[in-house]
Structure 1
Amino acid sequence: MKDAQSVLGGVSRETVRRLEIYADLLVKWNKSINLVSPKTINDLWSRHLLDSAQIFDLANVLSGKWVDLGSGGGFPGLVVAIIAAEKAPSIAVTCIESDIRKATFLRTVSRETSVSVSVIADRIEMVPPQSADVVSARALAPLPKLIPYAYRHLAVGGIGIFPKGERHKEEINRLKQDWSFKLDVFPSRTESEAAILRFEDLSNGKSV
Structure 2
Amino acid sequence: MLIQDEEGAKAWLTDTLGVSRETMALLERLNAFVVAEAEHQNLVSASTLAHMWQRHIVDSAQLLRFADPKVDEHWIDLGSGAGFPGLVIALIAPCRVMLVESRGLRIAYLERAIAHLGLGDRVHVAGAALERVPTGAADYISARAFAPLPRLLEGAARFSTENTRWLLPKGRNARTELESVPAAWQSVFHVEQSLTDADAAILVGTGSVPSSNPPRSVPQRPMRKHRSRS
Normalising to structure 2: TM-score of the pair? 0.81
Of residues 42, 56, 60 in structure 2, which corresponds to 1:34?
Answer: 42
The equivalent of 1:71 in structure 2 is 80
Quote how far apart the aligned CAs of 1:179 are.
2.8
Residue aligned with 2:196, SS: coil
The equivalent of 2:52 in structure 1 is 44
Q: Please state which structure has a larger fraction of its residues in helix.
A: 1
Question: Distance between the aligned counterparts of 1:187 and 1:36, measured in 2?
Answer: 22
Question: Distance between the aligned counterparts of 1:170 and 1:28, measured in 2?
Answer: 37
1:124 aligns with 2:133: no
Of residues 94, 100, 103 in structure 1, which corresponds to 2:104?
Answer: 100
Residue aligned with 1:57, SS: helix
The one of the two structures with greater contact order (alpha-carbon pairs below 8 A, sep at least 6) is 2
Counting only pairs closer than 5 Å after superposition, residues 54-65 of structure 1 correspond to structure 2 as 54-63=62-71, 64-65=73-74
Quote how far apart the aligned CAs of 1:130 are.
2.3
Structure 1 stretches of 5 or more lacking a match?
A: none
Whichever residue aligns with residue 149 of structure 1, its letter is G
Structure 2 stretches of 5 or more lacking a match?
A: 1-5, 212-230
Stretch deviating more after TM superposition (146-155 or 44-53):
146-155
Two-structure CA RMSD over aligned residues (Å): 1.8
Alignment deviations for residues 88-138 of structure 1 (CA, whole Å, 9 cap, x no partner):
x2x101101111221121121211111231111111111111211111100
Residue aligned with 2:180, SS: helix
The equivalent of 2:21 in structure 1 is 13
Question: Distance between the aligned counterparts of 2:82 and 2:172, measured in 1?
Answer: 22
Kindly indicate whether the alpha-carbon contact (under 8 Å) linking 1:181 and 1:201 is maintained by their aligned counterparts in 2.
no
Kindly indicate whether the alpha-carbon contact (under 8 Å) linking 1:67 and 1:95 is maintained by their aligned counterparts in 2.
yes
Whichever residue aligns with residue 82 of structure 1, its letter is L
Quote how far apart the aligned CAs of 1:59 are.
2.3
Quote how far apart the aligned CAs of 1:75 are.
0.7
Residue aligned with 2:164, SS: strand
Number of residue pairs the alignment of both structures matches:
200
Whichever residue aligns with residue 98 of structure 1, its letter is S
The equivalent of 1:83 in structure 2 is 92
Moved beyond 6 Å, runs of 4+: none
CA distance 1:201–1:181, shift in 2 (3 Å): farther
